[in-house]
Structures are given as C-alpha cells and as structure tokens.
Amino acid sequence: MVEVDNTILQKAQVWLNDNYDEETKKQIKNLIDNDPNELIESFYQDLEFGTGGLRGIMGVGTNRMNKYTVGMATQGLANYLKKMFANEKNIKVAIAYDSRNNSRYFAQITAEVFSANDINVYFFEDLRPTPVLSFAVRQLACQSGVVITASHNPKEYNGYKVYWNDGGQLISPHDVNIIKEVQKITKISDVKFNPVNENINLIGEDLDKIYVSKVKGLSLSPDSIKNQKNLKIVYSALHGSGVNLVPRCLKEYGFTNITTVREQDVSDGNFPTIKSPNPEESAALTLALEKAKSINADLVMATDPDADRVGVAVKNKNNKFILLNGNQTATLIVYYLINKWKTNNKLNGKEYIVKTIVTTELLKEIALKNKVECFDVLTGFKYIADIIKQNEGKKLFIGGGEESYGYLAGEFVRDKDAVISCCLIAETAAWAADKKKTLYELLIDIYAEFGYYKESLLSVTKKGKEGAEAIQKMMNDYRSNPPKSINNSEVIQINDYETQKEIYPQTGKVNIIDLPKSNVLQFFLSDKSKITIRPSGTEPKIKFYFGVREELPNKDMFNKANELSDKKINDIITAMNLK
C-alpha cells in the first residue's frame, strides 16, 4: 500500500471540511479510501497558474482542473483587472470555450465569478475557436478574455488561457503580476461564486458575421478562386470548434466542393475517432486522408480542438498524399501572401512578416528578396502578437507563423488562427492551380528559387531533479565553451537569448538582442545550418532544433537535396554527441 504524506492528507482534509460541494467531497473520500496514488497526484502541489494561465488534468484536488481551481484563478484575474482599470466604469471580459469535456462548465464558472466581481462578461453561446475569442476581445473593447481549452493535449486535460486588451496572450508585466494576484487567493472563501446574471451577456452570430467578413477581406485572389471553385477540399474539425466556421469561411471565399469528415464533425471531448487531437501527428489525419483518397481530393486540412492550428496534406508528383510540416505550410502561406501583395501593388516599404526563432529561415529569405521586413521573436505566438501591437499604425503586418502549425494574416486577430489559415491555404492552392501547379509543385518551385531548407526537432528527456540539473549543465557548457565548428562547418554567429547577446566569434563583434530574456542558444554555421537549443518550459526535456540548407539547381534534383539534408542533420546530431 502506498503511504500518503501527512501534508497531502491535511490538504485533502481542508476540502472535506470547507465549503466544497458534496460530490467533490464524495470523490475525495473515495481517493482517501481506495486510490492513494491518485490522491497524491491530486494534492501534492497546487495547479500552477503560469504565464499563459492554467493547464492540467481534470478532477478533484489542488493539482487538478476543477470548479475551485478555475474559480480561484478567475478571482485573482478579476482582482488584477480591477486594480489595473480602477478608473474604468465598465470592465469587460470575453469568454469562449472549445469541445473538451467540462469546457462549457468551466467557462460558466469563469463567467459567474467575473460577474460576481461586477465585471461585465461577453459569453459565447456555444463553442468557438480560440482566435475568435482573441477577435472578440478587440471587437468588443474588452480589458481581458479567457478561453477554456487545452489545445491538442489528451482528453483528460483542460486549460484556462488568458488574453489582454490587445487580443494577445499575456506577456510581461501582466503575466507575472496576474500570477502574483492568483497566488494571493489561498482559500475558497476568497472566491465570489454567486453570479450576478445581469452582468453576463450572451454573444454569437452577430459577432461571427463580423469575423467572417474580416476573414473574407483577407482574400487576395478572387479570380483564381472563381476559376478553381471546384477544388476538392477535405476538412476535419477533429471533434473540435472549427466545425462550423472553417467550412463557412471557405464557402464565403468561394469554394464550393468542401467535404467534411462526418464522424469528426461531432464535437466530443473524448475524441472517439483519434488517439490524439494533434494535427502535427499523422495519425490524427487518418480518416481525412481516407476520405480524400476515396473522392480523389486535391487538399486535406484538419484543425485542433480549439482551431488555432492546422495540419495539411497535399498530393506529390506521384499523386500520393503527403503531410506538410509546419515550416512547409508557413512557407507556402508567406510566399503566397508576399507575392500577391506585390502583384496587387500593396507593397510600399512599410510591410513586415513575423516568425519565431525556431521557424525556418526560408521565410526571412522570401521576405528580404521582396524588400519586406522580417521580425524574429521568441517561441510563442504571444510574441508575434506583441510585434503587431508595437507596430500598429506604423507598419502593416502581412502574415507570419511558427513551425508548430500556427499561422496568421491580418491584424484583427492576435493569435494563431486556423480558420484564416485554412482559407489562405485553399486560396494558395487555387492560385497555384491557375498556374497549372499543385501546392507540392509550388513548394518545389520555392525551393528551386531560394534553396532547399529542411528542419528537424530532437527532444532529449531527462526526468526528475537530476534530469533538470543535467539539462541546466548542458546549457551552461554550451554557453561557457561554445563549439568553434559543428560537423566541419564553422560557427559564425551565436545568439544567446539569456544574456541577450548576438556574438560573432571571428570578429569579436557583439550586438544586443532586443528580445525578452530566455534560456535559448542558437548556433549559425557557415554552411547556413542553424541549431537552436532550449529546455522545454512544460516537460523534462531539452529540445534541439536543426535547420539545414542545400542548393537545388533544378527541380529534378529535389530527392537528392532531400537525402543530403537528412544526412547533414544526422551528421550534426552525431557531431554534437546527441545519439
């Protein structure tokens, strides 16, 4: 029998004795009597309110997503909003939720606590994509927003993601300051659970219409869509919140031949037809690909449960579907946007794109060739949103994204948006088809123009206290004794985001990196390879991102360039003793 530490029993006893509901108490008693392992997991720590909010397994206890942990987080956020906007007569918050189990319930709790704190709530009447919440915050002039989602995590999880008044996720100083306010809520009696119903306003179709109109306004090739309106598109919502708005917006763009995966149109937090609702994983697209093969479709797209990320499959030269990775999809979108802005005479020298530092350098090359500025930001779409905010009214954001399947165009949403992305991917396919090309052939054309870029990710897991220390030692060693060359290629630039220095070893030149401090290192090699090293913020892992480049003198040599790239990445991994 597992022995339960007395401090854990004491924490559980508080929930039994305090003003918690009877069903919660019943479940805790059952854990004490029958499941000591789960009791420990549920109470050994408090579920951390991090820089983005909450994320955890659902259940009773201090380390679980439940009515009480959600209520305490909301009370802390409400207290912070009332401090920050003390002179505001009408503080407003928008709330949305996805298809996960308990998402609506947690959203309702969130709305009730805000309302009890005399904060006006705009509450979506049904599930909506996360980017629509970001849009609502701006459209309704809210001071904050909350969406209940755990993105692509397994079905046992849920989460609570917070947005600020610009429509972007929390960044400094609000992220840290809100954490402090939430930590001050130490007992359930601190939370105002009794709703003031007149402070809760339902929203839905009226806002959707405005959003859909804005999405349609991003279209750059109406003639191509008119010519290719019968492009066969298969779309899967993966049981999530993209189920209505993605097909609706595709139809608004002018596409008429859209087939959905009916089994996955059902909004279900158990995700019954898939092991994981993560469009980065090929298994998530299995049913969509089967449907596509049966109807000889041209394009396959699938969005995650909160519809902020999208996975894409296209046909190769052998007419077989292949999955694009996040860098390839970002490349197609950015290449298309910049080219259409150029041919539509929309470029005047004040336009820019944004990518994260671990995303392919090919995006920067495309931008620079077309005299479009490219910003690099830390990993996380909140930093892309912050660049848009900083440049609002001064420069125009064309688009951008990150290698983890999140993309954006336009400025009316301030987070990755799979609804927008699906429309632009389909429009890019129509534009290519007008030129007698598939998306795959367009991608090869881009590589032939700029060189073949390939990226790979290696995660090294090191668990426990010793693992954390080993990871930090690896980072310290790379900093204190950086390699002079890797895989026989000279290290010509080192970016250290912890010290905020850009170092050129050959000349000794040092520039300041104007980004927030982060425990990330990058090595740029003379052969245009890029290696990024960063510890994971959520898992006991250290991540190595590899990017390499090969010449592609003609398109027939694509397979050879791909083989050379794979070999180069493997050789770098070997040279760094990571095998």
**Residues assigned a catalytic role:** 151
Q: Do residues 421 and 310 lie in contact, with contact meaning Cβ atoms separated by under 8 Å?
A: yes
How far apart are alpha carbons 520 and 537 in whole angstroms? 11
How far apart are alpha carbons 277 and 271 in whole angstroms? 7
H helices of 20-66, where?
A: 22-34, 36-43
> Cβ atoms within 10 A of the Cβ of 150, count?
26
DSSP annotation string for 397-432: EEEEEETTTEEEESSS--S--HHHHHHHHHHHHHHH
Q: How many residues does the chain have?
A: 579
Q: Do residues 94 and 147 lie in contact, with contact meaning Cβ atoms separated by under 8 Å?
A: no
Q: What three-state secondary structure class fits 308?
A: coil
Among candidates 316, 379, 370, which has minimal Cα distance to 344? 370
Q: Do residues 341 and 347 lie in contact, with contact meaning Cβ atoms separated by under 8 Å?
A: yes
* The two structure tokens encoding residue 222: 């109406």
Q: What is the CA radius of gyration of the chain?
A: 25
Among candidates 182, 73, 92, which has minimal Cα distance to 144? 92
Element (H, E) at 406: strand 406-409
How far apart are alpha carbons 92 and 381 in whole angstroms? 24
Region for residue 409 given its phi and psi (left: phi exceeds 0; alpha: psi -120 to 50; beta: otherwise): beta
Pairing label, strands 233-236, 299-303: parallel
